Amino acid sequence: MREDVLGDIYEARITRVSGRSEPELRRLTSSGRAERSPVYSPDGASCFFTAGQGERRRIMRMKLATRQVEPVGPPGGGQPAPSPDGRYLAFTRFRMGQGERSGGVV
């Protein structure tokens, strides 16, 4: 997965053509918000990412089969990291005015 300068997230399927890798891009998001830090769920069925900025940012989960998107965790969460068994999602949380980052698990 990768993100572009406007914040959209793409999925790239890598295929071999004549010994060269050629990425086949598929846009996953295009909401107009800054979308960052994409990561697959361990089962590959979902993609977690951060949408928005500062306290307004949220961790979102997209079901890849339907492209249905839903918020996960509290406002201000970012940099999602699912556990290997998929039962937990670790993240960072930025709190405006406090100049600190904290972490959490959903």
User: For residue 9, is it within any domain?
Assistant: no
Q: To 10 degrees, the CA torsion angle through 22, 26, 81, 64?
A: -130
User: For residue 8, is it within any domain?
Assistant: no
Q: How many CB atoms lie within 10 A of CB 75?
A: 13
User: For residue 14, is it within any domain?
Assistant: no
Q: Which band of pLDDT confidence, cut at 50, 70 and 90, is reported for residue 25?
A: confident
Tell me the three state secondary structure of residue 77. Answer: strand
User: For residue 21, is it within any domain?
Assistant: no
pLDDT digit string, tens, across residues 28-62: 887 777 888 899 999 999 999 999 877 788 999 99
User: For residue 98, is it within any domain?
Assistant: yes
pLDDT digit string, tens, across residues 58-84: 999 999 999 999 999 888 899 999 999
Structural domain span for residue 47: 32-105
In this prediction the pTM is 0.74
User: For residue 23, is it within any domain?
Assistant: no
pLDDT of 95 higher than 80? no
User: For residue 69, is it within any domain?
Assistant: yes
User: For residue 52, is it within any domain?
Assistant: yes
